[in-house]
A = this chain, B = another copy of it.
Amino acid sequence: MRTTPFYRYEELASFITGLVDNGTLLPGSRVPSLREICERRRTSLSTALQAYRALEDRGVLEARPQSGFYVTASTPISLGLPAMSKPPATATDITISSVVSTLQEYANDARFVPLGSASPSPQLLAASGLDRFLARVARMKGVAYNTYTVPRGDLRLRREIARRALRVGQALSPENIVITCGCTEALTLALKAVARPGDTIAVESPTYFGLLAVLESLRMKALELPTDSETGVDLTALERALAAKAITACVVSSSFNNPLGCTMPEEKKEAIAELLARHRVPLIEDDIFGDIYFGAERPKPFSALDRSGNTLYCSSFSKTLAPGYRVGWIATERHMKRILEMKSASTLCGPALPQAALAEFLATGGYDSHLRRVRRTFRENVDRMMRVVDQSFPRETRISRPAGGFVLWVELPKPLASRALLDEALAKGICFVPGDVFSARQRYANCLRLSCGATWSPRIERALRTLGEMATALARRRTRARR
């Protein structure tokens, strides 16, 4: 399927898709006829037809005989939403690393159907042409760049990042950005800069297992906050923890947390930023999925809403462009000195050429069209996966409604354990991440995370249906055993 936006029909298709995305054209409504659209957009009938057919192929429009084209009426998902999580309000030590290590081996194993690792298909990212930039800088600048970079990293790349940040309301100077080895190093540096071993860090629940592994490696404790699958952490619980002076820092997703895919309303973000600033508890935000929004606009990160300077912003290019390049960044003014010290003592600096290649690629402006393309694909993947899960999993299953990102959170009816399902799934060559690793207390044993990062295929659809059948059979065996 060609998705190059330079074709005229693609421009038109994007235009229509935009109207659907921002709600101008509602599901089930009739779209302008071919003749109308030709007049309004000054395009030829053949281009318009090609655009409508492409949208039909992609499931955005449907043709009704004698009537014209309609926005596909999404059948509502019948499965319920996960309820607000209810972790206990006490801190806990973490022992998750060895479990996470084992999972990563499966997740990276190409023999499994890739529902495990939250990593986009390399093919999906290929169209950016980033590697051609790397090949060029290696040839042109290889000699000059074969040296340690300054600890902050490539200045041109930091400028490009600052330029893009401005669009979402972040006023960053390149001096306040440090390039890191992915978002993992960014989170590690942020935590090392503001907290000490033994300190307690507030996190979402469920939260990204990689963050828990980072906390464990730094010997910090986690306090899991109740988290709603649509609107994120519970403000009251956070207030209570702050009032009790129970936490040293708070790590939250800026948008589309992993695994729930939820995003907080802007007012809630402002309230949280204000609350943490008032208590002088640093807010570490993880915005790695921020560019993959399904709505009309990119949600603002906390640092764009917080004027107090209390926020340490972490992100990377790993989910949208270049997981293989390992380029992330951290932005902070207040904690820059400590961050630089920690960076020097952690990895000294990052490799120079991948940073230079990224800087050149960003400077061309090609990242925006690339982002539009991957955003659409992830949205389609998530949508398809939700529908297949809806059709194949037990009726009492609950699933998240991601507002962005590319993971889906599935809550199986209790007492179904996702570990039991995983054992059966691995035997059939299917991989996913069991829910217990998303909690410092191994909660969510009945949940699982599915990655929608891989290019959609019949193999993936089959694997999902198989999973659903296995879950249904397991549920039935449990029910019979109970009787």
Contact = CB atoms under 8 A, between A and B. Distances in A.
B197 A146 contact: no
Interface in A76-120: 97-98, 100-101, 104-105, 108, 117, 119
Contacts of A139: 131-132, 135
The copy count of this chain in the complex is 2
Interface string A149-181: 111000000000000000000000000000001
A372 B199 CA distance: 50
Contacts of A196: 219
Nearest to A186: B347
Contact of A350 (B105, B192, B217, B326): B326
B146 A125 contact: yes
A182 B347 contact: yes
Given A122-B146, A148-B324, A351-B354, 15 more contacts: A97-B342, A108-B147, A108-B148, A122-B145, A126-B142, A135-B139, A138-B357, A181-B348, A210-B348, A213-B341, A214-B345, A217-B342, A218-B345, A326-B351, A347-B347
A4 to B, nearest CB: 15
Chain A interface size band reads 35 or more
B354 A217 contact: no
Interface string A311-327: 00000001000111111
B131 A134 contact: no
18 contacts: A97-B344, A101-B151, A104-B151, A108-B147, A119-B147, A131-B142, A134-B135, A134-B353, A135-B136, A135-B142, A146-B325, A181-B351, A188-B347, A210-B344, A210-B345, A217-B345, A351-B354, A353-B354
A412 to B, nearest CB: 27
A72 to B, nearest CB: 31
A101 B134 contact: no
Contacts of A142: 126, 130-132, 134-135
A-side binding surface: helix, strand, loop or mixed?
A: helix
A123 interface: yes
Given A134-B134, A196-B219, A184 B348 contact: yes
A149 B351 CA distance: 16
A213 B344 contact: yes
A233 interface: no
A100 B122 CA distance: 39
B197 A345 contact: no
Interface string A322-343: 1111110000000001001110
Contact of A346 (B148, B217, B323): B217
A403 interface: no
B350 A181 contact: yes
A130 B142 CA distance: 8
